[in-house]
Structure formats: C-alpha cells, structure tokens
Structure 1
Amino acid sequence: MYKVKVNEQFQFDIEIEKNNLKVNGEDIFIDSAELNNGIAHLLYKHQSYNTEVISIDKAAKTCQVKVNGTVYAVNVEDQYDQLLQQLGLDNLASNKITEIKAPMPGLVLNVMVAEDAEVKKGDSLLILEAMKMENILKSSTDGIVKKIAVVKGDKVEKNQILIQFK
C-alpha cells in the first residue's frame, strides 16, 4: 500500500494489485491513454482529464503533476517508508548535517558562500583542487552557514572542517 499526499493537504491510501486500483479501499476504474512522455489523457467517472508529469524526484519520492492546467505536489510513502516510521527510524535519514569536511587533502580555490548565507541542497559551497582536479563541494542539505573555516588559497587535510552549519 502507498500513502499519497497531495499538496500537503489531501491523503490517499492506494493499493495496486495486478490491474486493480483501490483508493481509500474503493475500486477505481480509470481509462487512460499515454500521449507522449509523461503526458496522458484520462477518463474517470465520465470526466476527461489531461495530465502531465512536470518533475520527479525519485530520492525524495515526490513529483509535480499538472491536471487540466493545475499543478499538484505529490508525496509518496511506500511500505518501507511506513515500516521505518512505525519503528521510529524515519528521522535517522534526515539527521541534520552540521559540517562539511574535506574529502581529501587539497587547495581551496574558491569559497562560493558567505557566513549566515542560506543554502539549499545541491548548492555549490566551495572548489577544492586535489590531484590537479577541481572538485566542487555541494551542500547535502538545506541550512544556514554558521562559520567558514577556510579562505581561498588555504591548504587543507582530509577530514578538516571547511564549513559549519547552524
């Protein structure tokens, strides 16, 4: 069973067995025709719906879907997410990263953030040159930069703290 939350407001329990679809325990019959990549036309209870998958984040199990011109944010929990939640282990994966350490010895070529700057997951933080290659270190989480422990031109050792988050 999947738990699907739409726009952080509406929650549905969805079961898929062979070609049967159940939403909140009720059998649902949808006639669908895929038109292009991610675009489909659906018929449900004599109503027509044009749908398009706008984006998918498989790691976060989220997507954005446009239905008849309206965009919906969809979050999906599968049986494993639900089991982790029941066991109280769902918070372990989201432990907050408090610092970025040098993955290898190298030379700081550029620091791309400032203290008190807000960063998002995937934002570039600094460039570290190691073994004649430039490595861009990116944020693995959303956060606010508390302290930058290096400046351009610093030589760093493996596991040396480069940036700390609040």
Structure 2
Amino acid sequence: MFRTMVIEDTKYKTLTTRKNEMRTKWEAPKLKELKSFIPGTIIKVAVKEGDKVESGDLLMIFEAMKMQNKVLCPFPGVIKAINVKEGERIPKGFVIAEYE
C-alpha cells in the first residue's frame, strides 16, 4: 500500500506494509505518570497518596522474571494516586503511580 508522507515540507510517496499501518501510534510520554516497564508483581508499596517525595526516594518494589526491582522516584513531587496494591500482578505499561 502506498502512502504519502510529508517531512520538512517535502512530500514523499512510499510503500508501507499492513503491519506498519496497524502498529500502535506513538504518543508523547506523560511525565506525571509512572508506568511499569515489564509485566510483574508488586512486592511492596513504600509510599501512599499525598506523600511528598524527592528524587531517588523508594516508591515500591516490583518483581519481574524472579528479580526484585526498586522503583525510585524520578523527580520531586507529591503522590496523587497509587494504582496498585501489594501482591497485585500488572501488565507492561500499566500506570502504577501518578504525580501532582
């Protein structure tokens, strides 16, 4: 299937595959959401809603592929919501916490 693409004000006609057309469209990351990077289980939740956190603070411990991973706070803020509980299995890309 042919598709016309515009890159820097220049039109290009190119052949694309059905797989390419059906892929999930890219969306800009939401900095106020913390998502799981792989499927796994929440072992421990170290914060609660309303807590003030600093960069590097432990948010939770996440187990995947028999390894426990510490989920650290990427930047200072306030926890708006914790969308998981201990022992819960979650899929990849699940929003586990939200910041204000």
| TM-score, with length taken from structure 1 | 0.42
Report the equivalent of 2:69. 135
Taking the aligned partners of 1:136 and 1:157, their CA distance within structure 2 comes to: 17
Alignment equivalent of 2:50, drawn from 104, 110, 116: 116
Shift of 1:97: 2.6
Residue identity over aligned pairs, in percent, reads 35
Q: Does the 8 A contact of 1:97 with 1:140 survive in 2? A: no
Taking the aligned partners of 2:49 and 2:79, their CA distance within structure 1 comes to: 5
Report the equivalent of 2:96. 162
- Gap regions ≥5 residues in structure 1: 1-95
Q: Which has the larger radius of gyration?
A: 1
Q: Does the 8 A contact of 1:97 with 1:141 survive in 2? A: no
What is the total number of aligned residue pairs between the two structures?
71
Report the equivalent of 1:149. 83
| TM-score, with length taken from structure 2 | 0.69
Taking the aligned partners of 1:118 and 1:97, their CA distance within structure 2 comes to: 16
Q: Secondary structure at the match of 1:134?
A: strand
Write 1 or 2 for the structure with the bigger share of strand.
Answer: 1
Equivalences for 1:1-166 in 2 at 5 Å?
97-166=31-100
Q: Deviations over 1:93-143 (max 9, x none)?
A: xxx830110010000000000100000000010000000000001011100
Taking the aligned partners of 1:121 and 1:159, their CA distance within structure 2 comes to: 21
Q: Greater RCO between the two (CA within 8 Å, min separation 6)?
A: 2
Structure 1 runs of 4+ off > 6 angstroms?
none
One-letter code aligned to 1:107: T
